[in-house]
Amino acid sequence: MSVFLITILCVAFIFYISGMLLKIYPPKKRNYWYGYRTLRSLKNNHTWTEANTYAAFISRRVALALAIIGCVLLIALPSNEKIQGTTTILLVFTSAALIVVLTEKHLKRMFDKEGKPISNN
């Protein structure tokens, strides 16, 4: 098994476990040590709870997608270390960015700039 495939599977595992930990043991209050922390998520307790709930959900989905896409790509790609290494780096960073982007978009749909819930009327 390729070192690149092992790396992708390890990162996917870390994303999945992180998502499970956030789901099972969500942070009880806003803090700077544990949980999904951005300016938007730290606005108030409602944004904090929603951000961590959604980040837990999306982290697990991204982890599964990363594992599947990584396996397919690295099996399909030629055994060239530069190509596989670049692919691995791109997949890992794209996956991490995707978790943040999707969670921030979700918060933007749910709350205004001050962190007040947006009504769906």
- Summarize pLDDT for 68-114 with one digit per residue, the tens: 998 888 778 778 888 888 888 999 999 999 999 999 999 999 999 99
Percentage of residues in the chain having pLDDT higher than 70: 98
| Four-point Cα dihedral 81, 101, 61, 88, nearest 10 | 0
Q: Which H helix or E strand runs over 79?
A: none
Which residue, 16, 118, 4, is CA-closest to 65? 16
Quote the pLDDT of residue 1: 62
pLDDT of residue 42 exceeding 90:
yes
Domain ranges of the chain: 3-110
110 by DSSP, 3-state: which?
helix
What does the DSSP 8-state code read for residue 85?
Answer: H
Q: Tokens 């959900």 sit at which residue?
A: 57
Q: Tokens 């300016």 sit at which residue?
A: 39
Instruction: Please report which confidence band the pLDDT of residue 121 belongs to, taking 50, 70 and 90 as the band edges.
Output: very low
Helix extents (H) in the chain? 3-24, 45-76, 81-110
Rg (CA), the chain: 17
Gap between the Cα atoms of 43 and 89, Å rounded: 32
